[in-house]
Amino acid sequence: MVVDSRLDPPGLEQLRVEYPQVPVELGEFQDATFSNARRLIVSPGVSLREKAISRANDLGVPITGDIDIFSRAVNAPLVAVTGSNGKSTVVSLVAEICQRAGISFGLGGNLEGENALPALSLLEEPERDVYILELSSFQLETTSELGAEVAAILNFSEDHMDRYADLDAYLHAKQRIFNGAHKIVVNRDCQYSKPPSSVASEILEFGMQEPEPGVFGIKEVAGEDWLAYGDRNLIRASSLKVVGRHNVANVLAAMAISKSLGVDLDVSANAVQKFAGLPHRCQWIAEVDGVNYYNDSKGTNVGATAAAIEGLGQKSAGKVVLIAGGVGKGADFSPLQPVVEQYVSAVILLGSAAVELARVLSDRAPVTFVSDMEEAVVKARFKAQSGDAVLLSPACASFDMFRNFSHRGQKFIDQVRRLQ
């Protein structure tokens, strides 16, 4: 049986045509349906705290999800990456490195993009040498024994507080990625990146400090920052095409993961220098009248937006004009205060969290409210001066005004193009 709480969910007609023998139940979840099931396969979009699901779980009904099913179906090694920010960039970098190394790969999971597939859709493709999966905490909730060859929590900051009771619950979901992992990549700059002490796996570390032997890090050589592995200098940080310290950390993470897969360091270094970044992730769009416009629509939480502001603020000759707002997901916006105060000259706010954001940021930078993306870009152009950067990095989800973050980012791009 297929159950959906919506009365007219997308894909309903296709389901009925392709699987006419499968009963469909729509509307409010029914206790009897779930409690009498032999197994529940729960979509990541549905919380296990839903009353009918919780009751079924209490009665001992097994609960699983797409990633558990996938991991049991494939024989090739899995790379599993989660974190509050940077997941998509890191798995895409690992894929670039594998391609350069001649390793066939399947790329997908929670990742969006033309070359990415939902995990179960990868099973329809020819078998690969390795599978590289971006995993959300929602997917990991139903993942019991992943058994990844390499697993990583890149970083951890407040997000999805509309889904979880507290930060500990969010972290606990993320840490399920370590179940059965053979190797673990740890971010030395984030204590939450470390596995529980009970996990016995090989560990490789990266961080933004000068590296010790066997660790990836940053080393200063003749006044320049280099990405290094132990005492081996690999790449000038200035040679990377991606922007900001957070992206340097993403590159280090990808190289550490690739080394855990046995890829030669020179191959990794060559691949990451050619990586130009992903759409909607601090993506340069255009320069208009001396002002650079950047689309970071994928900045859907506070940590991502803070990193984007800092990265652009350090790079730009002038200040940052920030466009933010959307669905706040119960987040605490106060960590944005220091970077806004240091780097931002004006804040343009839209969406359902606009008032809440203004309450937190209005004493750090002038705030303007707008009703849509067209008005946001027009106001930003008016406030920006030559040498400044206009940054769309909402710190919020998109679904109050847009279909998804890609739709939001494209609307921003379209409006910027009209300025040219």
% pLDDT > 70, the chain: 99
Residue 317 clears pLDDT 80, i.e. is over it:
yes
State the pTM of this model: 0.83
Structural contact between residues 154 and 83, judged by C-beta atoms closer than 8 angstroms: yes
Q: State the Rg of the chain over Cα.
A: 22
Q: 394: which 2 tokens? A: 């909402």
* Catalytically annotated residues: 87, 110, 160
Q: pLDDT tens digits for 157-176?
A: 877 878 888 999 999 999 99
Quote the Cα angle for 288-406-349, to 5°: 60
Helix (H, G, I), strand (E, B) or coil at 332: coil
Domains and CATH numbers, the chain: 2-64 (3.40.50.720), 67-273 (3.40.1190.10), 283-419 (3.90.190.20)
Rounded Cα distance between 182 and 151, Å, is 8
Confidence (pLDDT) at 114 = 62
Residue 115 clears pLDDT 70, i.e. is over it:
no
- Beta bridge partners, 215, equal 205
Q: Torsion angle of alpha carbons 321, 323, 329, 333, nearest 10°?
A: 20
The sign of the CA dihedral 10, 125, 180, 156 is: negative
Residue 25 clears pLDDT 70, i.e. is over it:
yes
Residue 208 clears pLDDT 70, i.e. is over it:
yes
Instruction: Convert 237-259 to b/e letters by CB count within 10 Å (16 or more is b).
Output: beebebbbebbbbbbbbbbbbbb
Q: What's the chain's average pLDDT?
A: 94
* DSSP-derived secondary structure letter, 191: G
Q: What share of the chain is helix, strand, coil (3-state, %, to 5)?
A: 35, 20, 40
Q: Which range (237-246, 294-303, 330-339) has the least confidence?
A: 237-246
Confidence (pLDDT) at 220 = 95
Residues whose CB falls within 8 Å of the CB of residue 284, separated by 6 or more in sequence, listed in order: 243, 292, 293, 294
Q: Which among 279, 275, 277 is positioned nearest to 297, based on CA atoms?
A: 279
Residue 200 clears pLDDT 80, i.e. is over it:
no
Confidence (pLDDT) at 111 = 83
Structural contact between residues 344 and 323, judged by C-beta atoms closer than 8 angstroms: no
CA dist list (Å): 129 to 63, 103, 106, 179, 181: 29, 6, 8, 21, 17
Mean pLDDT score, 18-38: 97
